Structure 1
Amino acid sequence: MMRIRRQRRAPSAPATVPRIDPRRHEADQEAEAVEKFGASGLPRRDPHKSNGHRLRGELRTARSTTRIEPIEPLPAAPQWIALADDVSWIVVVSLSEEPWPDAERELLGAARKVADEIGGGVVMVRVGVQDPAADFGQIGADRAILLPLTTDPDVLARHVVAVMERFKGRHVFFGEGGADADVARRTAILLGERPATSLHLLSAERATLQEAGGRTEVSRPLPRVATLAQGRFEAHEGSIAREGRRIDLKFDETTPGVRDLGIVTSSQFDAPLGEARFIVSAGDGVTNWDAFRGVTEALGGTIAGSRQVVDAGHLPRHRQVGASGTLVEARCYLAFGISGAPQHLQGVQRCRYVIAINTDLHAAMVKRADLAIIADAQQVMPALARLAGGPANV
């Protein structure tokens, strides 16, 4: 009898596990899985069949745009700096009739630099044209005082002193030139201060000025009253403006009485060499000093000398003419017994006329002179004094 052998079948896989047909290509299976479950491996969800949970706003799909309502900006706070009244103050005085000239901006820039170094403020005193709409804070002033227009420099100087007393001003700056410089010097006299003029460098501690025709620099502590050279300082360019508050002060407009004291004869004998118009100078060739002083007084000149004379002690150091002394610009320079060293010739190169008295025909001073007398100075000086109406015993 023939038996039929039955083949056993493997138990079927659970219904939750999808069957994989080994005969299908692997690429087709992978594409089918992506289509069914997505690239992330998570089953896809139909957004139209969601359970009702929604995000706030209008976020819908990746292809939808997000709408954000604009927020109105808050009003900006005022961008300026205000100072209390008890700080150190730098006073700036301007007599310009032009609104905001370059020289005035330079004054304010220099004052602003010093005030920032000491943690203080700037008081702007303006004389002349008054613009009611002028913004003093934009150019660096914390306080502003407008003075009535007047041509009396003494009245203006007293007004400036009143401002200095009101604010307890530490320094006051003027421009070097014209009426500004005149009022500056009168203000210094009223305050009992020694001013510094034509400053071209300054800080809260030091001031630098030029002397001897701009060839010599002198540094000194910054005084209370100073004039500033034009074109040496930069205007204030701060990004934040200052307060620029206007202050009204009452000033006394009366002018003190003036008394005529008559004509006073002044002597140019000891006048500063930088201001002298007629200079009588001595060199090594002078041995009779009484005659030299007599002829200088008889001619109405200003006494001076060479370096050799000063080094010998015949004249003080501030009477020395030359590159290492004072560069003079006299209308006439009368030289007794001066050979003419190069440094001395540098000191007299701006003189209009030079007269030389010397025994050496080939001396450098004789070559430089417009008029020369070849003779001994000791003989020429008494004779010249007598011709000028000097004392008979000279």
Structure 2
Amino acid sequence: MPRIDPRRHEADHRDDAVERFGADGLPRRDPHKEKNQRLRRELRTHSAIRIGQNARRPAAAQRIVLADDVSWIIVVSLSEEPWPDAERELLGAAHTVADEIGGGVVLVRVGFLDPATDLGQIGADRTVLLPLMTDPNALAAHVAAVIERFKACHVFFGEGGADADVARRTAILLGERPATSLHLLSSERATFQEAGGRTEVSRPLPKVATLASGRFDAYESGIAREGRRIEIELNAPAPGVRDLGVVITSQADAPLNEARFIVSAGDGVTDWEAFRGVTEALGGTIAGSRQVVDAGHLPRHRQVGASGTLVEARCYLAFGISGAPQHLQGVQRCRHVIAVNTDLHAAMVKRADLAIIADAQQVMPALTRLAGGHVDA
């Protein structure tokens, strides 16, 4: 057993006594200990009050409420399920655009819906219920009426089944050309695939579009939207879309922002018959510079450039275009540029991937012959 040093033991007790008691013999206060005890008492008291208040008066759930005069994006859902995944994806994509323009989202649902269903939870600022109907033309007419009621900027459908069919019929009634199977979008651009998914195409976001499934995230903000239900008086629809058969069109007149191969003319073109001949023989779309349009050789919607159309063709064939900065801006997103010009130092020649230094009037009929087209002697 270790021996105890009585003197050291007595000194230890003396030090403890000094710490616990003051010179006057009264117990010393520990302010830190008292503060911690007070904080613990207050915390227990406030927690009890807060829990009791919540139990008596539940806090109202927060919601995002928008005014009626904002810009609206409409989502149309023909699903019979309450909250299908495709509908949630459409609402998420719509909010991507609506948030950029400071707008809201209207959900248009077709068929019966339980009145207790809270569509604000999945992202609807407004909801419109349309009666179930089997006639797609009548349904498209009703959707068009809702679009007019809200002055909607864009309308999104799912790509598949009846949704896609109604989307195309609605676009026809509105006089719009829809974009289909979008897999990327913003308030300005829409990206989709064509030719069996082998080619990616980007164009300005149109008024009517169908969205590919599984490409967009559902609306998840943690705060529900208002989901207010709007009643709209619907009139009997006018006669719907009629099939007029196949209409033969020319690629030469295709919209410039959708053309894949563009044949463009500048001041260096004087033989307009040869220009149209080579464009037809090559299967291209007609375009021109501002000087050509101002001179009246081509209509204004055929102008390429900063003050015309910004094109994204796979190939841009320029005859007799010197290459003003505004025109070069219009073709900067083209994949390949071919320039035909007599000036070796022209800006368009410097921009081109391939240049032919020759007179356009000689090159155009030669290309027409090589393409198998007819050239007048």
Give the TM-score of the pair, scaled to structure 1.
0.53
Q: Give, in whole Å, the separation in 2 of the partners of 1:107 and 1:259.
A: 26
Shift of 1:138: 0.9
The residue that corresponds to 1:316 in the other structure is: 283
1:115 match: secondary structure = helix
Shift of 1:257: 5.3
Q: 1:168 to 1:315 in 2, by over 3 A?
A: same
The residue that corresponds to 1:141 in the other structure is: 124
Identical residues among aligned pairs (%): 61
Q: 1:31 to 1:271 in 2, by over 3 A?
A: closer
Q: Give, in whole Å, the separation in 2 of the partners of 1:31 and 1:239.
A: 61
2:198 is the counterpart of 1:215: yes
The residue that corresponds to 2:135 in the other structure is: 152
Q: 1:42 to 1:116 in 2, by over 3 A?
A: farther
Q: 1:267 to 1:156 in 2, by over 3 A?
A: closer
RMSD: 3.6
Q: Give, in whole Å, the separation in 1 of the partners of 2:9 and 2:85.
A: 85
Higher mean C-alpha displacement, 67-76 vs 124-133: 67-76
Does the 8 Å CA contact 1:115/1:121 hold for their aligned counterparts? yes
2:151 is the counterpart of 1:184: no
Q: Give, in whole Å, the separation in 2 of the partners of 1:159 and 1:192.
A: 15
Q: 1:94 to 1:36 in 2, by over 3 A?
A: closer
The residue that corresponds to 1:241 in the other structure is: 224
2:281 match: secondary structure = coil
Give the TM-score of the pair, scaled to structure 2.
0.55
Q: Give, in whole Å, the separation in 1 of the partners of 2:9 and 2:92.
A: 82
Shift of 1:28: 8.3
Does the 8 Å CA contact 2:97/2:186 hold for their aligned counterparts? yes
Does the 8 Å CA contact 2:64/2:223 hold for their aligned counterparts? yes
Which residue identity is paired with 1:316?
G
Q: 1:118 to 1:175 in 2, by over 3 A?
A: same
Match of 2:93 among 110, 135, 157: 110
2:112 match: secondary structure = coil
Does the 8 Å CA contact 1:98/1:129 hold for their aligned counterparts? no
Match of 1:44 among 22, 25, 29: 25
The residue that corresponds to 1:359 in the other structure is: none
Higher mean C-alpha displacement, 112-121 vs 134-143: 112-121
Shift of 1:30: 4.8
Q: What per-residue deviation string (whole Å, max 9, x for no partner) do you get for residues 149-206 of structure 1?
A: 1111222122112211221111110111222112111211222222111111101111
Does the 8 Å CA contact 2:21/2:27 hold for their aligned counterparts? no
Q: Give, in whole Å, the separation in 1 of the partners of 2:241 and 2:216.
A: 42
Matches within 5 A, 1:1-394: 30=11, 34=15, 38-39=19-20, 41-45=22-26, 69=45, 70-71=48-49, 72-73=52-53, 75-252=58-235, 254-256=236-238, 314=281, 316-317=283-284
Shift of 1:214: 0.7
1:238 match: secondary structure = coil
Which residue identity is paired with 1:220?
R
Q: 1:199 to 1:29 in 2, by over 3 A?
A: closer
Which residue identity is paired with 2:281?
H
Q: Give, in whole Å, the separation in 2 of the partners of 1:137 and 1:196.
A: 27
Q: 1:224 to 1:42 in 2, by over 3 A?
A: farther
Count of residues in correspondence between the two structures: 240
